[in-house]
Structure 1
């Protein structure tokens, strides 16, 4: 247990979380201030709490903020986020805590370990790429998905972080780098150390990437050392040895960005395990759906794609054939009575209705002078539908659209103000709505 008296807050750069990144709980400290946050009444964060010291890391250096709890009396107050304001760490909480209160700080351990594995892994990967024979500087980096209250689980692509490089790596280089970084994790692990420098001891350390609002004259310059391999300024929390990274998986898929620059995607530690399990589940689902072995999946997918393409071509052929037939019937009705309608209750897709409209207008020509046509279709599986109203008169179109909207309130659409085509959509096309539309059209048309 650590206890501290009420004094000025510890500077970001020398926080307890930065000096001992494996201190996850049992840390006691004192509330220095608790400031209200201006926001909406329903916002969960209502106060910014500053502690004398903290084991909750404030976001910075490409590493997300920790989350955790402040425990005092019988309360266990969630900390959703920790921000850095200059040299100060501010804890975002939902309830007021009196300054002077002693609190015990608890870190979300699994999240912290994940962040450290990704962050330390990035330092190691960048160090290898910056050395011979690659000599590629890391221009920027971004951690992948971050678990939060809004996103409690990660999607499969969220496991990947990326670093931005001046160019793409070749397949052979990716293989070489993968072997090298994993050798430094499993076979030849390196000690990781942190050096804190006061303003007079900055020396030749590059400080260009230090945020402008961090006062180096009053703060602490930290450098992270991976054995003799790498030394870089960094404010984040890190592992103690490279073997704690677990492993690093580098994706062969890279994306271009800003001209010739490239994003190299990678993941570390537990994310590699979770990614493997997620991929295995996908492969298992594919095997079951395709009734084949893993090695046969690509061939089966190619075969299914070919079948879908052939089926789609057949569908397009018969849509045109049926649309031509229906347009002949509708045109005859229009020439006889000046109005006609089409109701298609099953697979009455918008695609089919538009094809009927196209065939109808092509055959219509310039006669008759006045006409009214309504095309309505529904897909029972989704309970959605489409409506086309066609006429030479915008006034007639408006009248029919208003009548149909009265019958089906969920009908929304537009167009045809000067004649032509009005197009609408029914999001929820129930059986009663269908009967009402059918009754209206059979009565009026």
Structure 2
């Protein structure tokens, strides 16, 4: 069995084949990590409707259902294909379980993902063609926006955008004109999209192959050219729509990002993404409107006002933190001077932020080094609302610090931190504190240290 080469795969010859495609397993090789442990398998099929990543388009994902093989108990078993890669001229399907060569499988693809990729990719071809034909602006590269995955099931509004890198920035007027031109080619004057395959013996000298992958041997492989009416003709391995009408719509924003000198990134999205993006923005806007108790048009004004108020509150908080830290540090100094063992502690039980603790340390640092040869200070804060805490241990001795760390660690299960190897300051964080742990900490400090 010889597999079909990338360029002539079933998914490339008919991009609307979504399921019930039967083929044979040609090979199945284990994927091993650096320790030679198998982390999955690469399966090569005789043909496939799962597109291997390429041309700026991500690979398809889907399932292989075993429909015929040596082990009758595995019939109808579905194996997930996480992604498909290209190795030279051939496609490799990445799976978690092996399938023996010679077994017949039926392929089903993620149809929603495929249609989305085709709308974005075909839209990019059309956008680049209009830019080149009308404005003589060249597309340097492009990148498709976010794809929904198990790790990221919900996209941010900005994730919906693709971008093309151009050799210059466009004006707002140009962006508006381009949007109108493309939407006319989608709605009023739809263009047929066709694919021409050239095998190695054909004369393909008129096709620009400069962007073909270096590891794809054109002398043996297949060169595909995507034609959009008489508007555009470009080599591409990706899956495409059959008509520009299937793009649905295009949204291009005027905001651009400067890259590599005078180059610019133009952001756009096509098809269903436009509606999905609108829904996500609408949800955010509606939530903001409810929080601010205002109309949608007032949200920016309210947000700006809240930001200014927050800045003022932060300045006020910083002022009172510094004030409180001075009082606490003076109390700690007095407590240490009166203590025989030179052991003192400070506890803030309500809003004991790390910022407050560090400010207290800042007020004490020079004084401790100049005034005391030995000392042990514990400064801790608890934030009741979040159930978390912060803790500083100060001493001239690293040995004393780590003895205290060990003791406190036995009381507080989620205490982690570092520093103080040679004395000075150990800084820790408690990610969660139970009532029993807080009581144990308070009891230990009140018995072994003097409260300031």
TM-score (norm 2): 0.89
SS at 1:347 equivalent: coil
Mapping for residues 335-350 of structure 1, pairs under 5 Å: 335-337=337-339, 338-350=342-354
User: Structure 1 CA distance, aligned partners of 2:418 and 2:105?
Assistant: 61
1:22-69 per-position Cα deviation (integer Å, ceiling 9, x unaligned): 1222333333334444458784x4341322x22222211111111223
Mapping for residues 253-292 of structure 1, pairs under 5 Å: 253-292=255-294
Q: 1:17 to 1:401 in 2, by over 3 A?
A: closer
Mapping for residues 37-52 of structure 1, pairs under 5 Å: 37-38=31-32, 43=39, 45-51=40-46
Mapping for residues 230-269 of structure 1, pairs under 5 Å: 230-269=232-271
Which residue in 2 is equivalent to 1:127? 129
Which residue in 1 is equivalent to 2:181? 180
Tell me if structure 2 keeps the 8 A contact 1:17–1:57. yes
Tell me if structure 1 keeps the 8 A contact 2:31–2:42. yes
Tell me if structure 2 keeps the 8 A contact 1:221–1:233. yes
User: Structure 1 CA distance, aligned partners of 2:56 and 2:96?
Assistant: 26
Deviation at 1:328, TM superposition (A): 2.0
User: Structure 1 CA distance, aligned partners of 2:211 and 2:373?
Assistant: 74
Deviation at 1:363, TM superposition (A): 5.8
User: Structure 1 CA distance, aligned partners of 2:417 and 2:228?
Assistant: 63
RMSD of aligned residue pairs (Cα, Å): 2.3
Tell me if structure 1 keeps the 8 A contact 2:193–2:227. yes
Which residue in 2 is equivalent to 1:435? 439
SS at 1:366 equivalent: helix
Tell me if structure 2 keeps the 8 A contact 1:49–1:92. no
Say whether 1:79 aligns with 2:97: no
Deviation at 1:121, TM superposition (A): 0.5
Which residue in 2 is equivalent to 1:3? none
User: Structure 2 CA distance, aligned partners of 1:282 and 1:331?
Assistant: 51
TM-score (norm 1): 0.91
Tell me if structure 2 keeps the 8 A contact 1:50–1:88. no
Which residue in 2 is equivalent to 1:21? 15
1:155-213 per-position Cα deviation (integer Å, ceiling 9, x unaligned): 33221111112233232322222222222111222111111122332021111111122
Tell me if structure 2 keeps the 8 A contact 1:140–1:163. yes
Deviation at 1:310, TM superposition (A): 1.6
Which residue in 1 is equivalent to 2:145? 144
Which residue in 2 is equivalent to 1:4? none
Mapping for residues 362-381 of structure 1, pairs under 5 Å: 366-381=370-385
Deviation at 1:305, TM superposition (A): 1.1
Which residue in 1 is equivalent to 2:70? none
Q: 1:33 to 1:437 in 2, by over 3 A?
A: closer
Which residue in 2 is equivalent to 1:308? 310
Tell me if structure 1 keeps the 8 A contact 2:418–2:428. yes
Which residue in 2 is equivalent to 1:359? 363
Which residue in 2 is equivalent to 1:382? 386
User: Structure 1 CA distance, aligned partners of 2:231 and 2:126?
Assistant: 8
Q: 1:201 to 1:398 in 2, by over 3 A?
A: same
User: Structure 1 CA distance, aligned partners of 2:304 and 2:42?
Assistant: 56
